[in-house]
Amino acid sequence: MRFSTRAIHAGQEADPTTGATIVPIYQTSTYTQSAVGEHKGFDYSRTVNPTRTALEKQLAALDEAAFCSAFASGMAATAAVLNALSAGDHVVVGDDLYGGTYRLFSRVLSRYDLRFTYVDMTLPEAVGAALEPRTKLIWVETPTNPLLKIVDIAAIANLKDAGQLLVVDNTFASPYFQSPLALGADAIVYSTTKYIGGHSDAVGGAVVTNDAKLAETVRFHQNAVGGVPGPFDAWLVMRGAKTLALRMRAHEANARGIAEFLAGRDDVESVFYPGLRSHPQHEIAKRQMRGFGGMVSFTLRGPEARTFAFAGRTRLFSLAESLGGVESLISLPARMTHGSIPKEERERRGVTDRLLRLSVGIEDLEDLIDDLRTALDATVEHAHR
């Protein structure tokens, strides 16, 4: 079956007790047993819940994978994968990544004696050079956040040995545009809060894999640590995921139009969008992705004051954290999502106070461009000060 058919049907059987066509929100913490230890496969909702199970089947199917565990957030999903490691293990990580992932690695897990080396993953040789005997995991985010660099997943997969897990945070591309497992990754992590949920109304995460041993470890930690989504959040993500293909096509068409609009403005310094031919990894993106996604980053010419004024001036683009919803958002990563990375470190990576990030929604493109043009023109005097 093809993508949208899987999104709409996988895990979505009619309810066995009532025939309800849509999977119900099983808002229950426990299940009545007919005799001691005799139940229908459900005993306690941290361990298993039918609404969550339906979501897990659906999300596994989106990547044509065998296993999925759903979590209460993308960070809980990330933590569950890292739970597979032991003290003393070493991880190689890309140096342009989600701020919360950096915080988890540098301020939580490093205290448990996991070691992290950050490298520019657009250079596979840098990854090769960072591998150590104790390296157990390579963590890739692509496209990266917020600079939208592209990492060649297959090239990194070729560098690793059997004892090392390659995990890809596929939140930005979504399973509609990128299939990391087919490129050699061992597991995928999602923040389903973003494109998969798609409506900015639920927080969630997922780990997807074909590796039975890893899946069992993640499932064990899902129950043992307990970062599970409630039934209603699982249901919201499941409903959102059914329209993922339609939404991703619309996000991409709008993002492309906006990237071209920005690239054509004299007061825009640089535009970061993997779909632009000028993007340094455009060819890799074309090869490993089926579309370039809905995120666009850019910098404005002129003083920082103009960037700040502009970010507060758009009307359709709300100044907000997060991404991947139907509504357009604008953010200043250095002051918002990436505020937890020390300033020096941030600037070294190119995440300056003049970098803006757009999560392009699925409103009408002409209205989005009008909104940006109005805000650019209204702040032009800042640029000449």
Ligand X SMILES: *Cc1c(COP(=O)(O)O)cnc(C)c1O
Q: Does 145 bind ligand X (CB under 6 A)?
A: yes
Kindly tell me the sign of the dihedral angle through the C-alpha atoms of 350, 351, 355, 360.
Answer: positive
Min CB(377)–ligand X separation in Å: 31
Residue 307 near residue 300 (C-beta atoms within 8 A): yes
Distance CA 254, CA 251 (A): 5
Distance CA 129, CA 139 (A): 15
Q: Which of 74, 94, 180, 325 binds ligand X (CB under 6 A)?
A: 74
206, 280, 316, 349 from 215: Cα distances, Å: 11, 35, 41, 33
Min CB(33)–ligand X separation in Å: 34
Distance CA 125, CA 288 (A): 19
Q: Could you confirm whether 357 is annotated as catalytic?
A: no
Q: Does 359 bind ligand X (CB under 6 A)?
A: no
* Tokens 């199917």 sit on residue: 61
**Nearest residue relative to ligand X (C-beta):** 74
Q: Which of 54, 75, 79, 188 binds ligand X (CB under 6 A)?
A: 75
Pick the catalytic residue from 6, 52, 136, 194: 194
Task: Mark 344-359 as b/e (b = at least 16 C-beta within 10 Å).
Answer: eebeebbbeebbbbbb
Tokens of 48: 């298993």
Min CB(98)–ligand X separation in Å: 4
Among the candidate windows 73-81, 228-236, 279-287, 370-378, which touches ligand X by CB under 6 A?
73-81
Q: Which of 150, 183, 203, 218 binds ligand X (CB under 6 A)?
A: 203
Distance CA 151, CA 285 (A): 8
Q: Does 252 bind ligand X (CB under 6 A)?
A: no
Q: Does 217 bind ligand X (CB under 6 A)?
A: no
Min CB(71)–ligand X separation in Å: 8
Q: Could you confirm whether 273 is annotated as catalytic?
A: no
Closer CB to ligand X, residue 150 or residue 376?
150
List contacts with ligand X (CB under 6 A). 73-75, 98, 100-101, 141, 145, 169, 171-172, 191, 193-194, 203, 205
Residues noted as catalytic: 46, 98, 169, 194
